[in-house]
Structure 1
Amino acid sequence: MAYFVSKPIHSTLWPLSLRAKVTSAWIMLTADRRYSSAAGSDSEYLHRSIVPTMHYQKSLPRLPIPKLEDTIRRYLAAQRPLLNNEQYSNTEKLAHDFQNGTGKELHEELVAQDKNNKHTSYISAPWFDMYLSARESVVLNFNPFMSFNPDPKPEYNDQLIRATNMVCSAVRFMKTLRAGLLEPEVFHLNPAKSNTDSFKKFIRWVPSSISWFGAYMVNAYPLDMSQYFRLFNSTRIPKTKRDELFTDDKGRHLLVMRRGHLYVFDVVDRDGNLVRPAEILSHFKYILADTTPAPKFPLGVLTSENRDVWAGLREELLEAGNGEILGLVDSALFCLCLDEEKLLNHIQISHNMLHGDGCNRWYDKSFNIILSKNGHAAIHFEHSWGDGVAVLRFQNEVFKETTEKPLVGPDTQPAAVDSASAVRHLEFKLNTELQQGISKAKQNFDKDVSKLTIDAIQFKQGGKEQLKKKKLSPDAIAQLAFQMGFLRQYGQTVATYESCSTAAFKHGRTETIRPASIHTQCCAEAFVQKPDKHSVEQLQGLLDACSKYHGQLTREAAMGQGFDRHLFAMRYLANSKGIALPTLYQDPAYGAINHNVLSTSTLTSPAVSLGGFAPVVPDGFGVGYGVHDDWIGCNVSSYPARNVHEFLQCVHKSLEDIFTVIEGKPLKSS
Structure 2
Amino acid sequence: MARLLTKSCFLKGGSSCAPGSVLLRAYSSGGGDTEYLHKSIVPTMHFQRSLPRLPLPKLEDTVRRYLNAQRPLLDDEQFSKTEHLARYFQNGEGKQLHEELVLLDKQNKHTSYISGPWFDMYLCARESIVLNFNPFMSFTPDPRPEYNNQLLRATNMTVSAMRFLKTIRAGYLEPEIFHLNPAKSDTQRFRKLIRLVPSSLSWYGAYMVNAYPLDMSQYFRLFNSTRIPKLNKDELVTDEKARHLLVLRKGNFYVFDVLDRDGNIVKAAEIQAHLKHILSDQSAEAEFPLGYLTSEDRNIWAKVRQKLIDNGNQDAVRKIDSAVFCLCLDDFSTRDHIHLSHNMLHGSGMNRWFDKSFSIIMTQDGTAAINFEHSWGDGVAVLRFQNEVFKDSTERPSVSPQSVPAAVDSGQAVQKLAFNLDDSLKAAVSEAKNKFDALVGSLTIAAMEFKRGGKEFLKTQKLSPDAVSQLSFQMAFLRQYGQTTATYESCSTAAFKHGRTETIRPATIYTKKCSEAFVKNPSKHSTAELREMLHDCSKYHGQLTKEAAMGQGFDRHLFALRHLAAGKGMTVPELFQDPAYARINHNVLSTSTLTSPAVQLGGFAPVVPDGFGVGYGVHDDWIGCNVSAYPARDVGQFVQCVHQSLDDIFKVLEDKRVNK
TM-score, length of structure 2 as denominator length = 0.97
Distance in 2 (alpha carbons) for counterparts of 1:568 and 1:500: 16
Q: How does 1:622-637 map to 2 (within 5 A)?
A: 622-637=613-628
2:110 is aligned, of 113, 119, 132, to 119
User: Could you say which residue in structure 2 is the equivalent of 1:137?
Assistant: 128
Structure 2 residue identity aligned to 1:560 = G
Equivalence for 1:559:
550
Match of 1:8 in 2: none
Residue by residue, what CA displacement relative to the aligned partner does 1:501-554 show, whole Å, maximum 9, x if unpaired?
Answer: 000000000000000000000000000000000000000000000000000000
Q: Spell out, residue by residue over 1:357-405, the C-alpha distance to the aligned partner (whole angstroms, 9 max, x if none).
A: 0010110000000000111000000000001111000000000011111
Could you say which residue in structure 2 is the equivalent of 1:596?
Answer: 587
Equivalent residues in 2 for 1:295-444, closer than 5 Å: 295-444=286-435
Give unmatched runs, 5+ long, in structure 1.
Answer: 5-14
Counterparts of 2:8 and 2:436, CA distance in 1: 37
Does the CA-based 8 Å contact 1:44-1:273 persist in structure 2?
yes
Contact 1:19/1:554, CA 8 A, preserved across alignment: no
Structure 2 counterpart of 1:48, which letter?
Answer: K
Q: Kindly provide the amino acid, as one letter, of the partner of residue 134 in structure 1.
A: A
Deviation of the 1:105 alpha carbon:
0.3
1:206-285 equivalent positions in 2, closer than 5 A: 206-285=197-276
CA distance in 1, matches of 2:523, 2:494: 45
**Structure 2 counterpart of 1:509:** 500
What are structure 2's unaligned runs of at least 5 residues? Answer: 1-6
Asked if residue 35 in structure 1 is aligned to residue 27 in structure 2, the reply is yes
Structure-1 separation of matches of 2:572 and 2:16: 38
Aligned mates of 2:296, 2:575 — CA distance in 1: 34
Does structure 1 conserve the Cα–Cα contact (< 8 Å) formed by 2:355 and 2:373?
yes
CA offset digits 1:610-663 (Å, max 9, x no partner): 100000000000000000000000000000000000001111000000000011
Residue 19 (structure 1) shift: 6.0
What is the Cα deviation at residue 295 of structure 1?
A: 1.3
Change (3 A) 1:668 1:243: farther
Per the alignment, residue 652 of structure 1 pairs with 643
* Conserved 8 A contact 1:532-1:667: no
* 1:559-603 alpha-carbon deviations (Å, 9 max, x no partner): 000000000000000000111100000000000000000000000
The residue aligned with 2:540 is 549
Q: Shift of residue 665 of structure 1?
A: 2.5
User: For 1:484, what is the secondary structure of its paired residue?
Assistant: helix
Alignment-derived partner of residue 79 in structure 2: 88
SS in 2 for 1:308: helix
Q: Which amino acid aligns with 1:287?
A: I
Cα distance in 1 for partners of 2:461, 2:168 equals 42
Q: Could you tell me which amino acid in structure 1 is paired with residue 106 of structure 2?
A: K
Q: Which residue matches 1:492?
A: 483
Q: Alpha carbons of 1:427 and 1:221: their partners in 2 closer, same or farther (altered >3 Å)?
A: same
Amino acid in the other structure paired with 1:266: D
Counterpart code for 1:592: R
For residues 148-178 of structure 1, give each alpha carbon's deviation from its aligned partner in whole angstroms, at most 9, with x where no partner exists: 0000100100000000000000000000000
Partner of 2:3: none
Task: Assess if the C-alpha contact under 8 Å between 1:463 and 1:474 holds in 2.
Answer: yes
Distance apart, 1:189 and its partner CA: 1.0
SS of residue matched to 1:541: helix
* Aligned amino acid, residue 176 of structure 2: E
Q: 1:457 aligns with which of 448, 470, 474?
A: 448
Q: Which residue of 1 aligns with 2:4?
A: none
Instruction: State the distance in 1 between where 2:88 and 2:37 align.
Output: 56
Match of 1:9 in 2: none
Provide the C-alpha distance between the structure 1 equivalents of 2:19 and 2:455, rounded to a whole number of angstroms.
10
Q: Aligned to 1:321, what secondary structure does the other structure show?
A: helix
Q: Which residue of 2 aligns with 1:51?
A: 42
State the shift of 1:666 in Å. 2.2
Q: What is the CA–CA distance in structure 2 between the aligned matches of 1:169 and 1:390, rounded to whole Å?
A: 16
Cα offset for 1:35?
A: 1.4
Change (3 A) 1:41 1:202: farther
Instruction: State the distance in 2 between where 1:58 and 1:267 align.
Output: 32
- 1:252 and 1:268 in contact (8 A); partners too: yes
Alpha-carbon distance in 2 for matches of 1:636, 1:601: 10
Whole-angstrom CA distance in 1 between matches of 2:487 and 2:20: 22
Alignment counterpart, residue 168 of structure 1, candidates 146, 159, 168:
159
Q: 1:18 maps to what in 2? A: 17
* Structure 2 contact 361–370 (Cα < 8 Å) conserved: yes
What is the Cα deviation at residue 2 of structure 1? Answer: 7.0
The amino acid of 1:278's aligned partner reads: A
When the two chains are superposed, the root-mean-square deviation of aligned CA atoms in Å is 1.4
2:221–2:376 CA contact under 8 A, matched in 1: yes
Query: How far did residue 17 of structure 1 move?
Result: 4.1
Cα distance in structure 2, aligned partners of 1:398 and 1:230: 17
Q: How many residues align?
A: 651
Q: Is contact 2:9–2:491 with CA below 8 Å preserved after alignment?
A: no
Matched AA of 2:299: D
Q: In 1, are the aligned partners of 2:9 and 2:16 still within 8 Å (CA)?
A: no
Q: Does structure 2 conserve the Cα–Cα contact (< 8 Å) formed by 1:2 and 1:19?
A: no
> Structure 2 CA distance, aligned partners of 1:283 and 1:19?
48
Give the counterpart letter for 1:283 in structure 2: H
AA in 2 matched with 1:36:
S
Matched AA of 1:345: D
Corresponding position of 2:137: 146
Q: Does 1:483 align with 2:482?
A: no
Q: Percent identity between the aligned chains? A: 69
| Alpha-carbon spacing, 1:16–1:46, altered in 2? closer, same or farther (3 Å) | closer
The verdict on how the C-alpha distance between 1:414 and 1:355 changes in structure 2, with shifts beyond 3 A counting, is same
Deviations 1:80-127 (A, max 9, x none): 000011000000000000000000000000000000000000000000
Shift of 1:200: 0.6
Deviation of residue 341 (structure 1)? 1.9
CA shift in 2, pair 1:3/1:520, >3 Å: closer
Q: SS of the counterpart of 2:110?
A: coil
Query: In 1, distance between residues paired with 2:270 and 2:318?
Result: 24
Paired with 1:158 and 1:471, the residues of 2 have a C-alpha distance of 43
Q: Rate the CA distance shift 1:446–1:667 in 2: closer, same or farther, 3 A.
A: farther
- Residue by residue over 1:438-467, the C-alpha shift from the partner in whole angstroms, topping out at 9 and shown as x without a partner, is 000000000000000000010000100000
User: Partners in 1 of 2:104 and 2:58 — Cα distance?
Assistant: 15
Which residue is 1:520 aligned to? 511
Q: Deviations over 1:295-316 (max 9, x none)?
A: 1100111001000010000010
Deviation at 1:198, TM superposition (A): 1.4
Please tell me whether the aligned partners of residues 3 and 559 of structure 1 are also in contact (alpha carbons under 8 angstroms): no
Give the Å deviation of 1:193. Answer: 1.2
Cα distance in 1 for partners of 2:8, 2:31 equals: 31
CA distance in 1, matches of 2:9, 2:633: 37
Q: TM-score, normalised by structure 1?
A: 0.96
The aligned counterpart of 1:640 is 631
Matches within 5 A, 1:609-620: 609-620=600-611
Which whole-Å CA distance do the structure 2 matches of 1:352 and 1:488 have between them?
A: 31
CA distance in 2, matches of 1:486, 1:667: 24
Aligned to 1:469: 460
Seen in structure 2, the aligned counterparts of structure 1 residues 3 and 440 have a Cα distance that, compared at 3 Å, is closer
Residue identity matched to 2:604: F
User: What CA distance in whole angstroms lies between the structure 1 residues aligned with 2:432 and 2:354?
Assistant: 13
Within 1, Cα distance between the matches of 2:617 and 2:303? 41
Q: 1:634 and 1:152 mapped to 2: Cα distance?
A: 23
Q: Which residue is equivalent to 1:192?
A: 183
